[in-house]
Structure 1
Amino acid sequence: MTQYFDPWSAEFIAHPYDAYAQLREQAPVSYYEPTRQWLISRYQEVSSLLRDRRLGRTYTHRFSHEEFGRTPPDPAHEPFHTLNDNGLLDLEAPDHTRIRRLVSKAFTPRMVAELRPTVQRLADELVSALLKDGGGDLISAVAEPLPVAVIAEMLGVPAADRGLLRPWSAAITGMYELNPTPQAARRAVDASIEFSDYLRALIRERRAAPGADLISALIAAQEDGDRLSEQEMISTCVLLLNAGHEATVNTTGNGWWALFRNPDQLALLRSDVDRHLPTTIEELMRYDTPLQLFERWVLEDIEVAGVRIPRGAEVALLLGSANRDPERFTDPERLDVTRTDNPHLSFGAGIHFCLGAPLARLELTESYGALLRRVPGLSLVREPGWQPGYVIRGLNELLVTA
């Protein structure tokens, strides 16, 4: 039944949801040979496996590559893997537990709350520029600059250097796609080296002269004498940028495109922004999630919906499919900005639930709020096209008039 699943097809990327419905109904657990993964498409199984400790984002804490039946990564990709493998997203206990505990001492709810005026100011500035121009590309004018500016403010990156962050992030996340090309791998390696070197220099500056920024807080974070290593700090900062960029940019672009296609829901939202905005943000993340797929390794034999999956296999948890499962969501194909029963999986679940979820929600709330209140006549110029990536799925552009 995996003929329905074609992650390199432009048609599939533009609308994967019919294929997901076929998978859920006919083959909710199915092996996909091109990527050597088991596709898991129903909410119940996806939610359960996100939390199941018999699976992991890595296996190297328990097995060698050879013991696990896997080929070691290309040595030429080592800079990317050093950066990626020391971040929270790809660690398991006890390393994950230790690093998350230390990072949480620096990246606190209070820090996020104190960022609200900054995020409001940045969103207003970007929307003002869009208004002045009479419209433009909502992706490049608002969606992309906002999370980059916020993380730059958090890290204390000088304004003159902020243009470096977005290209580095885009190149590194290219490695998260299914079967990345050699060219994508090369770009990811180069960006990993450049971004790491830049942050290493910034950390040296903050050690010498601490400030009120996240890097200084990460340097100071400790528990019982334990501190983050330099590499752990670098990987944490890069992950915050990459994950925040993916969630905010694509929820902004995909979400506005969904609202334009559902004018009754956009009108309802505009009728009472304060009331409907919180549920709208969650519904847009459910309806067209920015991260369509999340991979995990099977560390010991498991059975999923009656199908045995052996140790050494990899599962592809289809978050976009789970978020539209009619067994969990009422009328899931309908966009409903008033939906309250909405336990979507767009931020993951279990120990790898997104640490930056509160920040992403803040950015989305201020971005959508500024556009809805200040540009009530925002309208679409033409139907957008999609970027070629499937795992991190978003629009090329979204042209609007203000």
Structure 2
Amino acid sequence: MDDVFDPWSPEFLADPCPAYAELRDRGRVHWFEPTRQWLVPHHADVSALLRDRRLGRSYQHRFTHEEFGRAAPPSEHEPFQVLNDHGMLDLEPPDHTRIRRLVSKAFTPRTVTQLAPFVDALASELVGGLVAEGGGDLLAAVAEPLPVAVIAHMLGIPESDRALLRPWSADICGMYELNPSPETARRAVRASVEFSSYLRELIAVRRGDPGGDLLSGLIAAHEDGERLSEQEVISTCVLLLNAGHEATVNATTNGWYALFRNPGQLAALRADPDGLLPTAVEELMRYDTPLQLFERWVLDDIEIDGVTIGRGAEVALLFGSANHDPAVFARPERLDLTRSENPHLSFSAGIHYCIGAPLARLELASSMRALLVQAPGLRLAQEPERRPHFVMRGLRELRVEM
């Protein structure tokens, strides 16, 4: 598979779709030696395995590292592991069920609807600043500050501290790439220590003086006598920040870059923003998927197309490939903002379906609407450079002009 799937090469990162097509043509599952994972490229298999309880984000609820045939993480990674292992993304039932039930109270449709005026106003303000400057980096001016500010506002993080959040998040998320380097791990550990210490101090303040924010709610949340531990509160806050803005930043810039490369679709969106925005958001999430891969451990033997994958193996579910599977999407390489049948997997599926999906959709629609209205002549100023990351696919910047 090395001749087809090379997630570290600039050519692959620029456009992985030809490689994905080759993987799908060659079969339903492929062993990839560099990461020692089974690659799963087809939509039907990815969708089914996301819901299959024989797989899990973790195995430690059932097995020790030794029983599972895996080495324990290096001791120097412990701050990152503790932070990561107590977040619901990497937990399985019953802990996942308990934490998600409590956190979901903050992400009800009503809560997200109530946030809409705040998100719309903030998006309009950020876009107004970009327009006043005559252009600039869309990522730095709009795509990044909007979701960071929204989740920080929800959590009740003081505005003066919000500049700390994005660097911490970026360093922690580096560990989710394939085969992270020792330097990436060092940065992630340092960010885990600093972010956890910051939140621990903020939790102490909120315990003494609770407010109406999500952090205060998590501290007080209880159901059937169960509460979140302090570590679970910390890990949940970090997860909400990382997941709540990392994908949205990349979806925004990937989406606008796709529109600039498809001027006919951009013209149609400008002509009918209210009518097209709902399907446009879904299509842009599908077309250039911000999270390309999601990993699962095999807890009990499974079989795919006659290949037995035993307990202890790891599968790499290729969201980017699944979202371009012609068995599901007509002409998948075509950007079609009117696509109504769009079962993309960009928000995952099953028990780990993205809890913040409604908020992400709101943020994407709000920023796009503000740009369409306030910057009707927005255009690409220079070709962007891709970030050298495969799993979390995005751009270093997106320079635009009016």
**Shorter-chain TM-score tier:** over 0.9
Q: Deviations over 1:120-177 (max 9, x none)?
A: 1111111011001000011111111111111111111111111000000000000000
> Runs of at least 4 residues of structure 1 off by over 3 A?
none
CA distance in 1, matches of 2:22, 2:87: 35
User: Contact (CA 8 Å) 1:106, 1:221: kept in 2 or not?
Assistant: no
**1:116-155 residue pairs with structure 2 within 5 A?**
116-155=116-155
**1:301-340 residue pairs with structure 2 within 5 A?**
301-340=301-340
The one-letter amino acid of 1:221's match is A
CA distance in 2, matches of 1:233, 1:316: 28
Aligned to 1:233: 233
The one-letter amino acid of 2:53's match is R
| Aligned partner of residue 35 in structure 1, secondary structure | coil
CA distance in 2, matches of 1:236, 1:325: 33
**1:340-359 residue pairs with structure 2 within 5 A?**
340-359=340-359
CA distance in 2, matches of 1:2, 1:186: 28
| Aligned partner of residue 115 in structure 1, secondary structure | helix
1:156 aligns with 2:183: no
Aligned to 1:35: 35
**1:47-86 residue pairs with structure 2 within 5 A?**
47-86=47-86
The one-letter amino acid of 1:297's match is W
The one-letter amino acid of 1:353's match is Y
Structure 1 residue 195: Cα displacement: 0.6
Output the aligned Cα RMSD.
0.9
Q: Deviations over 1:317-375 (max 9, x none)?
A: 00000000000111101000000000100000000000111111111010111001111
How many residues align? The count is 402
1:300 aligns with 2:300: yes
User: Contact (CA 8 Å) 1:385, 1:397: kept in 2 or not?
Assistant: yes
Structure 1 residue 102: Cα displacement: 1.3
CA distance in 2, matches of 1:292, 1:229: 32
CA distance in 2, matches of 1:305, 1:255: 34
Aligned to 2:108: 108
1:217 aligns with 2:200: no
The one-letter amino acid of 1:102's match is L
| Aligned partner of residue 367 in structure 2, secondary structure | helix
Aligned to 2:280: 280
CA distance in 2, matches of 1:3, 1:37: 16
User: Contact (CA 8 Å) 2:250, 2:394: kept in 1 or not?
Assistant: yes
The one-letter amino acid of 1:283's match is E
Structure 1 residue 247: Cα displacement: 1.8
Structure 1 residue 245: Cα displacement: 1.5
The one-letter amino acid of 2:59's match is Y
| Aligned partner of residue 226 in structure 1, secondary structure | coil
The one-letter amino acid of 2:176's match is Y
CA distance in 1, matches of 2:220, 2:116: 23
CA distance in 2, matches of 1:380, 1:75: 46
User: Contact (CA 8 Å) 1:2, 1:30: kept in 2 or not?
Assistant: no
Instruction: Name the stretch that deviates more: 319-328 or 379-388.
Output: 379-388
Aligned to 1:366: 366
User: Contact (CA 8 Å) 1:203, 1:215: kept in 2 or not?
Assistant: yes
Q: Quick one: percent identity of the two aligned structures?
A: 69
Structure 1 residue 233: Cα displacement: 0.9
Structure 1 residue 105: Cα displacement: 2.6
Q: Which runs of 5+ in 2 are unaligned?
A: none
CA distance in 1, matches of 2:216, 2:112: 15
Structure 1 residue 217: Cα displacement: 1.2
CA distance in 2, matches of 1:240, 1:191: 16
Structure 1 residue 383: Cα displacement: 1.3
Structure 1 residue 386: Cα displacement: 0.3
Scaled by the length of structure 2, what TM-score is found? 0.99
User: Contact (CA 8 Å) 2:247, 2:392: kept in 1 or not?
Assistant: no
CA distance in 2, matches of 1:330, 1:246: 29
Structure 1 residue 244: Cα displacement: 1.5
The one-letter amino acid of 2:138's match is L
| Aligned partner of residue 303 in structure 2, secondary structure | strand
1:175 aligns with 2:175: yes
Q: Deviations over 1:268-299 (max 9, x none)?
A: 11110000000000000000110000000000
| Aligned partner of residue 80 in structure 1, secondary structure | helix
The one-letter amino acid of 1:351's match is I
Aligned to 1:378: 378
User: Contact (CA 8 Å) 2:28, 2:304: kept in 1 or not?
Assistant: no
Aligned to 1:196: 196
Q: Deviations over 1:286-319 (max 9, x none)?
A: 0011000000000011101221111110000000
**1:238-277 residue pairs with structure 2 within 5 A?**
238-277=238-277
CA distance in 1, matches of 2:363, 2:304: 37
Scaled by the length of structure 1, what TM-score is found? 0.99
